[in-house]
Amino acid sequence: MHTDLARRASLLPQLAHARNPGMALDLDWVASVQANTSAIERRAASLPGRRSVKKDWQAAWLCKAVSLIDLTTLSGDDTPGRVQRLCAKARQPVRADLLAALGMEGLTTGAVCVYHEMVEVAVRALEGSSIPVAAVSTGFPAGLSSYRTRLAEIGDSVAAGAAEIDIVISRRHVLTGNWQALYDETAEMRAACGAAHMKTILATGELGSLRNVARASLVCMMAGADFIKTSTGKESVNATLPVSLVMIRALRDYHARTAFRIGYKPAGGISKAKDALVYLSLMKDELGHPWLQPDLFRFGASSLLGDIERQLEHHLTGAYSAANRHPIG
Ligand SMILES: O=C[C@H](O)COP(=O)(O)O
């Protein structure tokens, strides 16, 4: 890997951080959390208009974004063949000639994310790489199957080789303010994950208010979440900048109080390279450099990679290729 571009993209090895052990549920802290919706919306609206990075720096940041993608397929018509193609794309996310010209050989996505039935296929297809497989779990996307089934699903995906488990929370516990129930379920799910890292999907589009998003984020971190994730990609509203500001500030508060860093995964509807750059600059501004590594940040995305590859090609050649030349990702 070319050291200068890799340095700009911050892809050189970083120090690992300690895993969140969780803490007792602190209801006073949860009750004290507020969200000033109009201030948050104003700040979010100003983000896309800010001056963006250009030229080599932009290429470096786009490579960085690639390294942070949970390359995802979550469709009812997923097949082993589709998952194998996706895994090949995760191993080599950008055309070899483009990677060579950028000096970024060896670049991979952060993970591959699939349904349980596809975990073994993905694990086999990624053998010999260090790309983890993430499984969506616990009755994804609605989270309304029996509690026993949801817990068992986690164990099954871990046994099949998933190193990361994306659980969905019970939205009703948030909507009814039953923080104890949310905490207990999430803590038990974290225990079921064992060594696998747990991302808690809040399904923010279904939580009713930004204050609920802030409180649910906090409760999930108290229960031991390794990541908080916005959405399943199946809600009518998925990742947004206002929701991201709220969740990112919850991460900052949790870190300030406990010294533990929890990861962030915006997911659903992020399909443009320019949007990815806005998210990265938001992370850098609000949380700083440590949160721009794959252990603390991921994009959950099924179609972002294709647009990033087109932008990298444009950066190198001055021309865009047709989107159908980048069929996967
Ligand atoms: O977790 C990932 C999401 O399901 C992906 O959503 P997307 O297909 O809108 O990119």
pLDDT at 70 (0 to 100): 98
Q: How many CA atoms lie within 13 A of 202 on its CB side?
A: 36
pTM confidence score: 0.94
Asked if 189 and 151 touch (Cβ cutoff 8 Å), the reply is yes
Cα 167 to Cα 153: distance, rounded to the nearest angstrom: 10
Any idea which architecture 3-7+30-318 has in CATH? Answer: Alpha-Beta Barrel (3.20)
Residue minimizing CA distance to atom 10 of ligand 1: 301
253 catalytic residue (yes or no): no
**Residue 329, pLDDT score:** 58
DSSP secondary structure letter of residue 76: T
- Per-residue pLDDT, averaged over 13-25, amounts to 82
Residue 282 has a pLDDT of 96
Report ipTM for this prediction.
Answer: 0.97
Spell out the residues 6+ positions from residue 115 whose beta carbon is closer than 8 angstroms to its own. Answer: 74, 78, 135, 136, 140
Cα dist from 288 to 34, 121, 252, whole Å: 23, 36, 10
Give me ligand 1 centre to Cα 247, in Å: 18
Active-site choice (64, 89, 199, 265): 265
Using alpha carbons, select from 179, 266, 249 the residue that is nearest to residue 214: 249
Q: Is the pLDDT of residue 20 over 90?
A: yes
23 exposed, middle or buried (CB, 10 Å; 0-12, 13-18, 19+)? Answer: middle
**Which of the four pLDDT bands, split at 50, 70 and 90, describes residue 262?**
very high
* pLDDT score recorded for residue 7: 61
Copy the structure tokens of residue 186: 């999430």
234 is known as an active-site residue = no
Atom of ligand 1 nearest to the CA of 201: 1
Please report the DSSP string for 31-43 in residue order: HH----HHHHHHH
Å from CA of 303 to ligand 1 middle: 8
- pLDDT tens figures, 193-242: 999 999 999 999 999 999 999 999 999 999 999 999 999 999 999 999 99
265 is catalytic: yes
| Residue in the structure block whose two tokens are 């996967």 | 328
Choose, from 64, 70, 166, 307, the residue flagged as catalytic.
166
Read off the pLDDT of each residue in 309-322 and give the average, rounded to a whole number. 89
The residue type found at 222 is M
Structure tokens at 147: 């509690």
Whole-number Å distance, alpha carbon 271 to ligand 1 midpoint, is 9
What residues flank ligand 1, with Cβ below 6 Å? 72, 74, 113, 232-233, 267-269, 300-303
Res. 10: pLDDT tops 80: no
Q: Give the C-alpha separation, 57 to 297, whole Å.
A: 19
Tell me the pLDDT tens digit for each residue of 166-207.
999 999 999 999 999 999 999 999 999 999 999 999 999 999
Higher pLDDT, 260 or 14: 260
User: Residue with the nearest Cα to atom 4 of ligand 1?
Assistant: 233
**DSSP tag of 293:** S
pLDDT at residue number 325: 64
Separation of CA 113 and ligand 1 centre (Å): 9
